Amino acid sequence: MNDFINIQEQLAQDYFPCIADLRNFIHITYWSDFHLITQALFDLLPFGQLFGGNQFYAFTDYQLGPLADEARCNLLFWSLANVTTFMGQRAQELTLHYDNTFLWHYVVPACKIEIHNQLLEGHRIRFLSRCQLSQAKVEVEFQEIQLCSNDNSGYNFICTDSQIYAYLWRNHIWETNIVNWETNLVNLQTFHVPI
């Protein structure tokens, strides 16, 4: 039995030499009591990037396939490396979120004028807000930055849910769920006020 475990651990080291320890990333929050994913999967998750229209569609057209492949490899890594929870159960699911403080206090202010102008010109600005990996699927969720007019004849940034892409392991296709069908980028009906 020990030989089998040693072989598994060696395979995990050979095939997955670079592992990301989520405890080292203060801009990422995660829902799990384990903290290891493959670096290759982590590198494909564009947390902290703002996507204009062309960039967003380039990501969804060309990066979702590799993302599903790396997510599948990550599940294999969890199994080979015997990644377990604090209770000793095998790793089954992990949800990553980009920390709102970093987005709204560092990323958005650095691009404030560009974002504002793009939105007034009718261009959508999206960002990756969540990634969930489980034995059933990998899912990525995008939110949008939009504008709401204020009393001073100006605008404040707001946030809305946008689209969820889910790759179900059982049928090997990406499904798209559009959460917000509103086309207006200013003064939406449903939105979140950023922190």
Q: Is residue 140 part of a domain?
A: yes
Q: Is residue 65 part of a domain?
A: yes
Q: Is residue 185 part of a domain?
A: no
Q: What does the alpha-carbon distance between residue 133 and residue 104 come to, in Å, rounded to a whole number? A: 25
Q: Give the pLDDT of residue 181.
A: 61
Q: Is residue 192 part of a domain?
A: no
Q: What does the alpha-carbon distance between residue 94 and residue 31 come to, in Å, rounded to a whole number? A: 6
Number of domains making up the chain: 1
Q: Is residue 166 part of a domain?
A: yes
Q: How do beta strands 173-178 and 28-31 pair? A: unpaired
Q: Is residue 136 part of a domain?
A: yes
What range does the domain containing 7 cover? 2-178
Say whether 26 sits in a helix, a strand or coil.
coil
Q: Give the pLDDT of residue 2.
A: 60
Q: Give the pLDDT of residue 185.
A: 63
pLDDT in tens, the chain (195 residues): 566 557 777 777 878 889 999 999 999 999 877 889 999 999 999 999 999 989 999 999 999 999 999 999 999 999 888 887 778 888 889 999 999 889 999 999 999 999 999 998 989 999 999 999 999 999 999 999 988 888 777 788 888 888 999 999 999 999 999 876 666 666 656 665 676
Q: Give the pLDDT of residue 126.
A: 95
Q: Is residue 187 part of a domain?
A: no
Q: Give the pLDDT of residue 151.
A: 77
User: What pTM did the predictor assign?
Assistant: 0.87
Secondary structure E strands in 99-154: 125-134, 137-149
CB of 56 closer than 8 Å to CB of 50? no
- Residue environment code for 15-37, b if the CB has 16+ CB neighbours within 10 A, otherwise e: ebeebbebeeeeebebebebbbb
> Considering only CA atoms, which of 102, 76, 91 is closest in space to residue 33?
91
Q: Is residue 190 part of a domain?
A: no
Q: What does the alpha-carbon distance between residue 1 and residue 79 come to, in Å, rounded to a whole number? A: 16
